[in-house]
Structure 1
């Protein structure tokens, strides 16, 4: 099969229009290169006219020229909506189910408030590495625990909360592990998780490989002698994982099927503590680096009295940007950022803070970030998981009114 040979001279002659005589010379040839004048000349394709396309994309009624780039304009034809097929919405991620795992890897998270912390998710990622394709991961939590499936758990055993008594918690966890008979048990190397891991190791009479920074199916690695050497060992029964050492589980969500087991009385000494409770620290005086909930004021906050009322109503720890601290409006110890305090808070609220690079470094470890700013393109808005594009001076009184209404509603329910 052959196609007709193009004739450039004939194509050029077909689009020639009346010549125009120059001011000081002979007439010059002129050509109509629009879509109308070049419509499929000798099998060719129409020549684009960028000016007419740009004019067809212009949005009327705007003070400044604005263009709708989702439209396609060809030559002098009317504006046509884009006809390319849109990708179908992704189907919901398939939940992976392990019906009969060859062995179990247990994870005992901190799960403060019934939620997995960032450290707990890292321990679940390490457990998935040890479980491989044939094993299953079971979360043994004291009390309820949310979002275990997306974090990588195939099973979930929720134990009855024994209060703040560490000995009773260790006894319940030891009894649960005896019923599950897992191949490996992982704890977070945190304040509560590390203490619980050592108590369980004493009760079970097993060695604990603590502060593991590398978790692999064949070995565990931890630093020793002031981090001058590394200690390696094959994965044993009990181990604790250091923070920020292992990546989270990034695969498809798991089933997290609820389990119920009959707990036998745990062996070991009984606790002499009759009752125990955890007394939270005053958020107004807790160090900024240890605070769980921080609200910071930036250059967009002018009414600091309202800001302090909001911080007290939400039981948060006050923070500030460097601008306010340099101006003497907030104390220096409340400065958030690389040149101030680096946070590890669960929730951080930035009021009127645009987000300088040093400030963003200070909130990089926060789990949830809420930003209130009038600039939609501010760096803090991009960093935030929840953004309110509004003046902070208007948002703060509105939040106080909502909190007052909620307090009145709760008082009415109690009566």
Structure 2
């Protein structure tokens, strides 16, 4: 159990006679005085490493727990239990009358914010909070994650399909009709093109590829990164990836805004269609969904069939590539390819430190392994504790519908 920490100074003082420098010889009286003084003094609890280790183990086994929140029994007396903190609803930030608006135009493919979009919203939140402003998201498909990302207002843009010309014209109308102090876009393929179209329509200067942003200054590298350009934040800004942190505070209300958008005449683009690349031929550094095989996979025919059914890009651990079962270009990890994928599916991979470095930037990780305490299982957001050799055919049957067909009489 936890006990109060000793106070050596108080113990030494109890061994001395008042007014004299020589020590006291009545040790029993000194011990009683020290105990009384220690109980009266506000001391902090002494850690009990053995007790903490017992709480970290699964009862009846020498294995450690995955849920380290079981240590709440050792928290200080005034601490709030983790369960009570989880049940408490997050506070909603409401900005009723903003002094100005900071517009954000995220890419949001399919109505879902990318990590780059969240960083741009975090930068807009920084500019808005500096002077009592609010963040206005201009999106084609409003999503549910805008409030958690830090958005105060939402305005839908009626753009059908890929039409950057019409979208730029609508953004121009919004910038003219509302009190927009800053407009931020991601420096991505779509965001950069849209920002330059908007700058041409408005005639305003565009600060492209900003690498740092505060309420008073914005910077970027120039001339082969030999110099740094710095100025006050202009109206039109594109933000480079990883230049700002996402919003990590309380969610905002993200209420819709009513604005009369103009009716646009048909533009020069009659029709546009995205032609997806073949995932099997895409490099791992550009792949969006990667399925990797580890030492727990032996049937690579089923593995390739599962990758094709999931329409994913194949990958592998270093041990599989060293054995010659997969090409070296498929190796994932610090010594292979560091992924920037949206989803990573690991089959039979324990999770060496070098491999975990390669999936550190993946947004979602799904793992299949027989070891409940494998490092990849701890890293995964969704884990299946089972044999990958049995999971692969079950997934193939579920994807192809073979299992449902066999179940019918």
Specify whether residues 67 and 248 from structure 1 end up closer, same or farther in structure 2 by C-alpha distance, changes over 3 A only: closer
Question: How big is the alpha-carbon RMSD for the aligned residues of Structure 1 and Structure 2?
Answer: 3.1
Q: Deviations over 1:98-121 (max 9, x none)?
A: 111000000000101211000000
Select which of 187, 190, 205 maps to 1:189.
187
Q: Distance between the aligned counterparts of 1:159 and 1:403, measured in 2?
A: 35
Shift of 1:270: 6.4
> Aligned residue for 2:149?
151
Larger radius of gyration: 1
> Aligned residue for 1:324?
320
Q: Distance between the aligned counterparts of 1:343 and 1:407, measured in 2?
A: 33
Q: Tell me whether 284-293 or 86-95 shows the greater mean CA deviation.
A: 86-95
> Aligned residue for 1:385?
381
Aligned partners of 1:179 and 1:262 also within 8 Å: no
The DSSP-based 3-state class of the residue aligned with 2:146 is coil
> Aligned residue for 1:168?
166
> Aligned residue for 2:201?
203
> Aligned residue for 1:372?
368
Q: Distance between the aligned counterparts of 2:309 and 2:386, measured in 1?
A: 21
Alignment of 1:36-51 (within 5 A): none
How many residue pairs end up in the alignment?
342
> Aligned residue for 1:46?
none
Q: Distance between the aligned counterparts of 2:172 and 2:110, measured in 1?
A: 22
Q: Deviations over 1:242-271 (max 9, x none)?
A: 1011111111001111123111256xx963
Say whether 1:177 aligns with 2:175. yes
Say whether 1:313 aligns with 2:345. no
Shift of 1:379: 1.4
Alignment of 1:270-349 (within 5 A): 271-349=267-345
> Aligned residue for 1:264?
262
> Aligned residue for 2:128?
131
Q: Structure 2 regions of 5+ residues with no counterpart?
A: 1-25, 29-50, 71-76
Specify whether residues 226 and 144 from structure 1 end up closer, same or farther in structure 2 by C-alpha distance, changes over 3 A only: same
Q: TM-score, normalised by structure 1?
A: 0.76
Q: Tell me whether 166-175 or 194-203 shows the greater mean CA deviation.
A: 166-175
Select which of 115, 122, 137 maps to 1:118.
115
- Which structure carries more helix by proportion? 2
The DSSP-based 3-state class of the residue aligned with 1:289 is helix
Shift of 1:66: 9.7
Q: TM-score, normalised by structure 2?
A: 0.77
Q: Distance between the aligned counterparts of 2:184 and 2:165, measured in 1?
A: 18
Aligned partners of 1:212 and 1:220 also within 8 Å: yes
Q: Structure 1 regions of 5+ residues with no counterpart?
A: 1-5, 9-52, 72-83, 410-415
